[in-house]
Amino acid sequence: MTTEPSSSPLPVGDIPTDPIATRNLATPARALAIVAHPDDCEFQCGGTLAKWAAAGCVINHLVLTDGSKGTWDADASSDALVEKRRDEQMEAARLLGSTGKVVMLGHTDGELQPSLHVRDQVAYWIRALKPDVVLAHDPWKRYRLHPDHRNAGWLAIDGIVAARDPHYFRHHDADPHRPDALLLFEADEPDHVEDITGFVDTKITALLAHRSQYVTTHGIADDDDGTGAIRFGDRMNDHARAVGSQTGVGAGEIFKLMTGL
């Protein structure tokens, strides 16, 4: 079945309109991106992770769902898509320069719930990986349509609270851990920018590893001759530069920064 590329805007968040208070965290020793689906990380914070990886940060990924609904093709095999998206996420992480773990929890795409069971899993991986910075979806984003993004945000925040307290989930074989900072992407009220000048191309290369998503999210035809991928890269560059022009950097990704966790 041949499908047409999506004409929807790319899922890269808004251009900031209000002043940005802070810029560029010190490169953490370890970072953990907690996301709903394969490719969410690369779209929302891929440039930041690539920059940190190049500076020696150990980047880890925690993907909560299996990505099984990530196609417009009603005849596609969900099982085959799950395997393909797992492979794509592994390759995208490698292209970003990630040297840590890529953990796929495998909850059913579109059905993610902020349950105690999943919170237990998220808290465990925060304790086990001990990130200095966690990056996650902003669950307070107004008018958010996709429930997985909203619920993944709650799970990340609730997981941070559980991971830091020794009385939560005492069965874990990992000590409590408290990250120094949380960066929420797709933020309702962004107040922090990371300068990703020089790393946008790495972000684009990692996104293009998600070949199964060309039609649904990238806006690239499934029989692309290369021109669609170039247009996609141009759109990503344009967005990063537009964010940068509003925040005083060459190219940027914006977040809500939370500290004192």
What's the pLDDT tens digit per position in 18-66? 889 999 999 999 999 999 999 999 999 999 999 999 999 999 999 999 9
Say what the pLDDT of residue 144 is. 83
164-171 mean pLDDT = 98
Sorted by sequence, the CB contacts under 8 Å of residue 208 that are 6+ apart come out as 218, 229, 232, 233
Give the pLDDT confidence score for residue 1 in this predicted structure.
46
pLDDT tens-digit series, residues 205-225? 999 999 999 999 999 998 989
Domain ranges of the chain: 28-259
Kindly tell me if the per-residue pLDDT of 91 is higher than 80. yes
Give pLDDT, residue 87: 98
The DSSP 8-state label assigned to residue 22 in this structure reads E
Q: How far is it, in rounded angstroms, from Cα 231 to Cα 36? A: 26
CATH of 28-259 among 1.10.150.20, 3.40.50.10320, 2.60.40.420, 3.40.920.10:
3.40.50.10320
Q: At what angle do helices 200-208 and 78-96 cross, to 10 degrees?
A: 160
Residues 120-166: pLDDT tens digits?
Answer: 999 999 999 999 999 999 999 998 889 999 999 999 999 999 999 99
**Prediction pTM value:** 0.95
Q: Confidence class of residue 14 from pLDDT cuts 50, 70 and 90?
A: confident
Helix, strand, coil share of the chain (percent; to 5): 40, 15, 45
